[in-house]
Structure 1
Amino acid sequence: MLTRIITGVVGIALAAFIIQTGGALFSAFALVLSLVAWLEYVRAFAHKGIRGAFVLGALGLVLLWGCAWLGNAEETMAVTTGIVLLILLESVLLHGRFSFEDAAVSVAGVLYFGYPFAHMVLLRFAGEGQTLMTPLGAFDFGCAMIWVMFIGTWASDTFAYFVGSAIGSHKLCPTISPNKTVEGFLGSLVGTTASVAGLGVFFGLPVLEMAGLGLALSVLATLGDLVESVAKRYTGIKDSGNIIPGHGGVWDRFDSVLFTAPAVYYFAVLVLMND
């Protein structure tokens, strides 16, 4: 537990520095996270005898990240089409060594990690030139929304854990994640909604809309966690890796963010930036 706490504190401090710095540092960090998560994914499915297209997948992740950096939707579509077709073509060129199942799992992984981490980069650069005044000073709009995304996701996990540990008795998805409870999920709904609404007050954003975002983030964070749980049960692994002492792998730590990052981006673009 001590290792987990120390790692968590160091991780939050590092995340705060990277988020506040933004720019190339934040984007590069997002790319590294996506590549490490992809490696963990490929290793996980190797336990089932499924061979991931590691090199092509990594290339796809780099190109999707580059498209997010440039902010060009047409290039994103071109990259997605090209990488999907190339991975599928690999099942033809390497027939007997690389099956269609290998290709399908690889395509799923590239899209699963590539798009959410690309959305994280897009979110950090959203509303360039727009600042939000807070009691702690001015925040770039994109920086503020990254904090909303991370704090909302962390709040969902934290409230679910503590409420579930204290009063949880009804299993939410016992065949997928035995430790999750209905009570913990309800605690997450209330706690995350209140937390994100509080961030709305802090950043001077519309509180009612932010509360709605908090409610959505609670649901999405839970679903993101359950998706990884399904994958881990299928592949027979406990943790995706051990790169983060006491916390497992990057996939373990960012499974919920994979679902919440795109949601916050589109909320920012469609709701906040249209006001």
Structure 2
Amino acid sequence: MFTRIITGVVGIALAALIIQMGGALFAGFALVLSLIAWFEYARAFHKKGMNITFITGIIGLFLLWGCAWLGNAEETMAVSTGIVLVVLLESVLLHGRVSFVNACTSAAGIFYFGYPFAHMVMLRFLYPEQQLATSFGPFEFGCAMIWVMFIGTWASDTFAYFTGSALGRHKLCPTISPNKTVEGFLGSVVGTTAAVAGLGVFFSLPVLEMAVLGFCISIIATLGDLVESVAKRYTGIKDSGNIIPGHGGVWDRFDSVLLTAPLVYYFVLLSGIGLK
């Protein structure tokens, strides 16, 4: 537990520095995280006896990250199409080593990690000219929304854990994640909605829209956690890795963020809160 706490404190401090600095540091860190998560994914399915197209995945993640960094949707579509074609072609050219199921699993993993971290980059640099006044000084809009995404996701996990531990009686998804309870999930919904609404007050953003965003984050974060739980049960692993002492791997720590990052990005665009 002590190791977990120390690692958590150091991790939060490092994350705060990278988020606030932004620029190439933030974008580069997002790329590194996606590559580590891809390695953990490939290793997990390799233990299941599957041959994942590892090198193609690395190249695909680089290209998807580059499209996000450049902010060109047409390039993203072209790269995505190319990734699918190349991975499927490998099941033909390397038929003895890469089966069609392996190829489909590989393509799913590339997009599973590539798209969310790409959206994280795009979110950080959204509306760069807009500054939000706070009691701690001005925040770039994209920086503020990255904090909303992370704090909302962490709040979802934290409220679910403590509410479930104290009041949990009814299992939410016993065959996938035996420790999750309905009570914990409801605690997550209430707590995350309130936390993100509070961030709306802090960043002087529309509180009603932020409360709706918090409600959505609580649901999507839970689903993100369950997606990884399904994958880990299928591959027979307990943790995706041990790169973060006391916390497991990057995939373990970012399983919910993989879904909440795109959610927050598109919520901002559709709600228009960045333009109010």
TM-score range, shorter chain: over 0.9
Per the TM alignment, residue 236 of structure 1 is displaced from its structure 2 partner at its CA by 0.2
Per the TM alignment, residue 273 of structure 1 is displaced from its structure 2 partner at its CA by 2.9
Deviations 1:67-102 (A, max 9, x none): 000000000000000011000000000011111011
2:152 equivalent in structure 1: 152
1:268 equivalent in structure 2: 268
1:63 equivalent in structure 2: 63
2:127 equivalent in structure 1: 127
Distance in 2 (CA, whole Å) between partners of 1:11 and 1:145 is 19
Q: What amino acid is aligned across from residue 108 of structure 1 in structure 2?
A: A
Per the TM alignment, residue 274 of structure 1 is displaced from its structure 2 partner at its CA by 4.6
1:255 aligns with 2:255: yes
2:217 equivalent in structure 1: 217
Q: What amino acid is aligned across from residue 225 of structure 2 in structure 1?
A: D
Q: What amino acid is aligned across from residue 16 of structure 2 in structure 1?
A: A
Which residues of structure 1 form unaligned runs of 5+? Answer: none
Helix, strand or coil for the counterpart of 2:139?
Answer: strand
Comparing 85-94 and 263-272, the one that deviates more: 263-272
Distance in 2 (CA, whole Å) between partners of 1:183 and 1:273 is 34
Distance in 2 (CA, whole Å) between partners of 1:57 and 1:70 is 20
Deviations 1:115-174 (A, max 9, x none): 000000000000111100001110000000000000000000000001101111110000
2:238 equivalent in structure 1: 238
Q: What amino acid is aligned across from residue 113 of structure 1 in structure 2?
A: F
Which residues of structure 2 form unaligned runs of 5+? Answer: none
Deviations 1:176-217 (A, max 9, x none): 000000000000000000000000000000000000000000
Helix, strand or coil for the counterpart of 1:137?
Answer: coil
Q: What amino acid is aligned across from residue 167 of structure 1 in structure 2?
A: L
Per the TM alignment, residue 20 of structure 1 is displaced from its structure 2 partner at its CA by 0.2
Matches within 5 A, 1:162-241: 162-241=162-241
Helix, strand or coil for the counterpart of 1:172?
Answer: strand
Distance in 1 (CA, whole Å) between partners of 2:146 and 2:117 is 12
Aligned identity (percent) is 77
Distance in 1 (CA, whole Å) between partners of 2:270 and 2:204 is 17
Q: What amino acid is aligned across from residue 258 of structure 2 in structure 1?
A: L
Per the TM alignment, residue 47 of structure 1 is displaced from its structure 2 partner at its CA by 1.3
Distance in 2 (CA, whole Å) between partners of 1:186 and 1:30 is 31
1:17 equivalent in structure 2: 17
Distance in 2 (CA, whole Å) between partners of 1:215 and 1:246 is 29
Helix, strand or coil for the counterpart of 1:273?
Answer: helix
Q: What amino acid is aligned across from residue 179 of structure 1 in structure 2?
A: N
Per the TM alignment, residue 270 of structure 1 is displaced from its structure 2 partner at its CA by 2.0
Say if 2:37 and 2:250, in contact at 8 Å, map to a contact too: yes
Helix, strand or coil for the counterpart of 1:180?
Answer: strand
Comparing 264-273 and 24-33, the one that deviates more: 264-273
Distance in 2 (CA, whole Å) between partners of 1:27 and 1:113 is 14
Count of residues paired in the alignment: 275
Distance in 1 (CA, whole Å) between partners of 2:23 and 2:247 is 27
Q: What amino acid is aligned across from residue 274 of structure 2 in structure 1?
A: M
Per the TM alignment, residue 61 of structure 1 is displaced from its structure 2 partner at its CA by 0.4
Per the TM alignment, residue 48 of structure 1 is displaced from its structure 2 partner at its CA by 1.2
Distance in 2 (CA, whole Å) between partners of 1:107 and 1:214 is 31
Distance in 2 (CA, whole Å) between partners of 1:97 and 1:15 is 39
Matches within 5 A, 1:18-167: 18-167=18-167
Distance in 2 (CA, whole Å) between partners of 1:50 and 1:101 is 9
Helix, strand or coil for the counterpart of 1:189?
Answer: helix
Distance in 1 (CA, whole Å) between partners of 2:183 and 2:64 is 38
Deviations 1:21-57 (A, max 9, x none): 0000000000000000000000000111111100001
Kindly report the root-mean-square deviation, in angstroms, between the aligned alpha carbons of the 2 structures: 0.6
